[in-house]
Each structure stands twice: as structure tokens, then as C-alpha cells.
Amino acid sequence: MMNSSEDNYNYAQFRQDAKAGQVVGITMKQNKEVPTGTMTVELKNEVYKNCNITDVDAAVKEIENKYPNLYKKMVVKPIDRSGDWITTLLPNLLMVGILVFFLIMMMKQNGGGGKMMDFGKSRAKMANPDGPKVTFDDVAGLTEEKEELEEVVDFLKDPKKFIGIGARIPKGVLLVGPPGTGKTLIAKAVAGEANVPFFSISGSDFVEMFVGVGAARVRDLFGEAKKNAPCIIFIDEIDAVARRRGSGLGGGHDEREQTLNQMLVEMDGFGVNEGIIVIAATNRVDILDPAILRPGRFDRKVGVGRPDVKGREDILKIHAKKKPLGDDVDLHEIARTTAGFVGADLENLMNEAAIQAAKNNRGYIVKEDIDKSFIKVGIGTEKKSRVVPESERRITAYHEAGHAILFHVLPDMGPVYTVSIIPTGVGAAGYTMPLPENDNIFNTKNKMLHNIMVSLGGRIAEELIFEDITTGASQDIKQVTQLARSMVTEYGMSDRLGLINYDSGEGDEVFLGKEIGQPRPYGERVATIIDEEVKDIVDDCYKKARAIIEEHMEVLHSCAKLLLEKERINQSEFETLFEGTEA
């Protein structure tokens, strides 16, 4: 029950002193950790001794029974709770401190205390009216698109002309096209041509974690636009907020749908010809809510597609204005080799070429810079330092020669522009680059079959020369299978299945939950026929491609030999190999 104290005085010694009549007074103090405590004993010679007590109540009871005289003089002090306020108040102070910290951070994020609760303020940025303006002269390759938007410019410049005759200008213009085709640029050009305020915002800027903030921002945006009318509101990537309602798993009453509902009201709510025109851009028009596409909201859809060869040349001229070019640079040839490139790709190509020229301490861009940049942008950086075994270099040389021969011989394929066995950054051991004669709006059946034959050329060359095959043709085989399956299921190019689309469209489904439980649109018998038709197409193309390569075995060997010697050959060097072999 007793413990020794600091001065080695204990409860047993207290008993001896009390029995001998040496104890004059006792002070008992209980600890917070009951029932422990401390006892101070006053002896006759005014000496004070302290000892620790493990059970204060038991000690007090013992003193009461055995030493009643001392018990009458004993002082029992209550528990000292003077420090309890610290332990009670400290957690509350900590919570208050955290709350104040978050409030300060929110104030800083929103630009000060006055805007602390301005979650509903629009985040749209207004273009500086005194800054540099983008005009239609800065937009190339979009001739028809500019003509269609000139009506919007005319209205913003002279709205009375339209209002006087009772015409209603489109309230909204939806720019639809792949990424990088210039949708944002042409919207800025409309504002620059009309010389009106231009508000730009992204669709994702409307939606927040707080319910109702998106709708409030839409109201604030249109309210600000009315103050600056006539003006243009440009919403980039509108599919982030205007997706079809009621789609996917879960409920439909969420923040995004409330924001969309408010946008629908605002677009069809302000007065006729008030001078506010909404231009939006998206590359996924198929997932937009039908209500936003109806007349009175987005009246017009302007397709901003990939530029043709003339459009690419015009775009290249714009991006080459401030870049000195060498005499050997032919922009028309570059435009031909960049089929499928959009404006952003072409700007990147010219920028990479300028970087390449600067690295070589040259004050102008030459054809070699553009060729290297094209390979870097389109295929991947060449890894000339990579050590490749001679056996693999030989396999790659014959593989690429097989592709190149079919490119050259087949009538629906473009001539060969470059053949290389230098590894690239995308993991390819080499590449064969064609030079298309022109841009095709659609593919013919023969051209698709020729594409399959070209893709099989590398594997066929490996089989003929090495009597073995490698994994190098895996990507070719994947492309062949996808193309042949599309011919059968999407394009109606199968005699056995006829003009019926059997494509399930699973690759285009973007809403989680809609495809769950969706049955396949055909039975097992049709699935078997599809597999058989795909195999028949590939097998037939394989036989024809093999026959062509066997007919040009001399060219195959000479091309592979030249590739092993030079690593990369151009169009003229490759076509020279066919001299004397063609009638």
C-alpha cells in the first residue's frame, strides 16, 4: 500500500513515529489518478516527511481507527484541478485554428476576404480589348468555316441591318471537330473581326463540388455578358457540362445536370437579338444533350475538320512566316507528306524544325530539319545510338523492304517516301513512310484490301528469307484484323452477310452503365460467319501479297542490302531499285 518518498520516508516509518507519539500533524493530498496520493507528516522537531500513498481512502480509515487524535488534526486536501482547463480547451483551440486556416486559404484563393464566398462568380476570362487581335487572316485551311462565321461577324458589326428585316441571328454556334483543328482559334478570330468583347471559359470551370455553384456561375456569366453586349461567349470543351442527362449509373439530379439546366434556360431566355452569341467547341458532339442542340440554342453546327493538302500548305505558310527557310524546303511537299495532320500538328512540326536548326547553330531551317522533326512528331525520335545485333538489323531490313515493295507496286497506295531501319522511340525497329498523292474523303474496298496487303508485307518477307517469323509484325497483324473486321461488320463489304451493320458500337460507348446488359446485336451463327469472313479476307490478301513479293525478289534483296548499308533511303533511291524490273 505504501511507496517510498523522495527522502526515503515510508508509511511503515510513519506507523512507528505515530506509535511513539512523534507525529504532530498529517496533511493528506489525493492525486488526480485516484486512489493514489501524497501524505506529509509533521514531527515534533518540526521536521516534515513526505511519502506516497497507493490508496488514500484506506490510509485515512486506518488513521481514524488506530490514531483518532491524529485523525482529528489531519487535513485532507481535495484534488487540484487547476490545470484541467488546458486539457479541455486545447482540443477546441486546435479545431478553431484549423477552421481559421482553411478560411484564410479560401480567402486567398478567391482574391481576398470580400470574395471569400464568391463561389458563384463566373471564371470566364475577358480578352484584353487593347491587346493583339486574332483575325480571319490568321486562320488558314478553314475557308468554308470562315465564310459561315462571317454572318456572325456581320451581325455583331451591324445588328440593325438584320433586325430591320426581321432576321434572327443564330444564338449559338457549335464548332465540331477533332482536337487541334483550330476551333478555339476561329472563335477568337470571330471576336477579333467583330471587335467585340470575348469571354472564354472551359466547360469544366462551371462544375464544382458544391451543389448549385455551377448554375450560379452560368447566371453570372450571362449577366456579365449582357453588360458588355454585343459580345461573344466561348465555351471550350462544352461536353464536360452538356452531356446527355439521365445517362449512366446513379441518379440524374446532380451538380452537372443542374448546371446544364441553367445553361439551357439562359441560352433560350435572353431577349431576341440582344447581341450575345455563344460559340462552343467539342470533339464529342454525339454525347451532347439533344436539348442544347435544338434551334434557339445552338442553331448551327460548323464542322472544323482536318485540312486537305491545300489547307495544310496554307497553314504551313502561316507558321513559317517568322521562320527563315532554306532553298531546299518545299512546303507543298511537306503538305503532301503530312496527310492527317491538323493545324496543331503542323505548328508543332515547324517548331520542332526550328529547334533542330537552332541546335545545329544554323540561322535558317533546311529540309533535313523538317524531315527529322516529322519522324520525331509522327513516328518517334530515332535512336541511332541503340546497339542492334546484326541479325536483327537484317531481319528489319527485309521486313521494311517487304512493306516498301507493296507500297510501290499496288496502284491504290502512295509512292514510298522514306524507308529506315533506325529504331524509333515508340519501340519500332524501323519504318516505311509513304507519300500520298492526295487526301481521300473515303476509302474504297480495293484500297482497304491493298492496305491489308501492305501491312502483311513485312511478315511475308521474313517467312520467305529466314523461313522463320518474329514478333515484329504484331502491330501489323493487329491493324490487319481491325481493318478486315470493319469491312465485314461496319462497311457491308461481305458477300455472305450483305448490307447489314453488325458493329456493336462498344468502343464508342462513353456512359458507364449503358452498355451493361446490352445484348450483342447478332447471334452465334452470324458471329461465326464474321470470323470466317475476316479470315478469308486476310488469307486472300496474304496470298496476293506473297505472290507480288516473290515476283520482286531481286528488289527485296537489293533494298535490304541498301538499307543495311545506309540505314535510311529516300524515294529516288528506292525507285532506282526497280529500274529494269518493270515493263
- Is 552 annotated to bind a ligand? Reply is no
- Residue 550 pLDDT exceeds 90: yes
The pLDDT confidence band at residue 107, using thresholds 50, 70 and 90, is low
Give a yes or no: residue 435 inside a domain. Answer: yes
426 with 441, same domain: the answer is yes
CA pair distance 461, 549, nearest whole angstrom: 7
Domain holding 408, by residue range, is 390-576
Give a yes or no: residue 85 inside a domain. Answer: no
Q: Which position has the higher pLDDT, 79 or 558?
A: 558
Tell me the pLDDT tens digit for each residue of 499-511: 888 876 554 544 4
Task: Using only the alpha carbons of the chain, give its radius of gyration.
Answer: 41
Q: Which residues of 531-569 are buried (b: 16+ CB within 10 A; e: fewer)?
A: eebbeebbeebbebbbebbeebeebbebbbebbeeebbb
Q: What is the CATH number of the domain that holds 169?
A: 3.40.50.300
pTM (whole model) above 0.75: no
316 with 281, same domain: the answer is no
- Is 114 annotated to bind a ligand? Reply is no
- Per-range mean pLDDT, top range of 235-239, 480-484, 570-574: 480-484
Is 400 an annotated catalytic residue? yes
342 with 217, same domain: the answer is no
365 with 402, same domain: the answer is no
3-state secondary structure of 82: coil
- The pLDDT value given to residue 510: 47
Give a yes or no: residue 105 inside a domain. Answer: no
- Is 476 annotated to bind a ligand? Reply is yes
Average pLDDT over residues 160-164: 81
Q: How crowded is the C-beta side of 32, counted as CA atoms within 13 Å?
A: 5
- Residue 114 pLDDT exceeds 90: no
Average pLDDT over residues 422-447: 76
- The pLDDT value given to residue 382: 62
Q: What is the CATH number of the domain that holds 37?
A: 3.30.720
Query: For the chain, how many structural domains are there in total?
Result: 4
Q: What is the CATH number of the domain that holds 352?
A: 1.10.8.60
The pLDDT confidence band at residue 384, using thresholds 50, 70 and 90, is low
- Least confident range of 101-115, 304-318, 524-538, 562-576: 101-115
Domain boundary among 378, 403, 423: 378
- Residue 414 pLDDT exceeds 60: yes
Give a yes or no: residue 19 inside a domain. Answer: yes
Looking up cell 462571317, which residue turns up?
A: 150
Give a yes or no: residue 530 inside a domain. Answer: yes
- The pLDDT value given to residue 131: 67
- Residue 355 pLDDT exceeds 90: yes
CA distances from 474 to 401, 450, 458, 470, 500 (A): 17, 18, 10, 9, 30
- Residue 514 pLDDT exceeds 60: no
Catalytic residue among 400, 515, 533, 567, which? 400
Give a yes or no: residue 581 inside a domain. Answer: no
Q: What is the CATH number of the domain that holds 551?
A: 1.20.58.760
Q: Which position has the higher pLDDT, 376 or 551?
A: 551
- Least confident range of 98-102, 187-191, 365-369, 512-516: 512-516
319 with 267, same domain: the answer is no
- Residue 552 pLDDT exceeds 60: yes
- The pLDDT value given to residue 371: 84
Average pLDDT over residues 183-210: 79
131 with 248, same domain: the answer is yes
398 with 523, same domain: the answer is yes
DSSP 8-state assignment for residue 277: E
- The pLDDT value given to residue 194: 81
- Is 439 annotated to bind a ligand? Reply is no
Domain boundary among 327, 355, 378: 378
354 with 419, same domain: the answer is no
Tell me the pLDDT tens digit for each residue of 486-500: 999 999 998 888 888
- Is 521 annotated to bind a ligand? Reply is no
- Is 399 annotated to bind a ligand? Reply is yes
288 with 325, same domain: the answer is no
Give a yes or no: residue 450 inside a domain. Answer: yes
403 with 535, same domain: the answer is yes
- Give the three cell numbers for residue 190: 470571330
445 with 553, same domain: the answer is yes
364 with 417, same domain: the answer is no
Domain boundary among 378, 411, 426: 378
Give a yes or no: residue 317 inside a domain. Answer: yes
- Is 78 annotated to bind a ligand? Reply is no
- The pLDDT value given to residue 486: 93
Rounded to the nearest integer, the mean pLDDT of the chain is: 80
- Is 68 annotated to bind a ligand? Reply is no
- Is 180 annotated to bind a ligand? Reply is yes
CA distances from 232 to 148, 155, 273 (A): 16, 12, 13
- The pLDDT value given to residue 116: 45
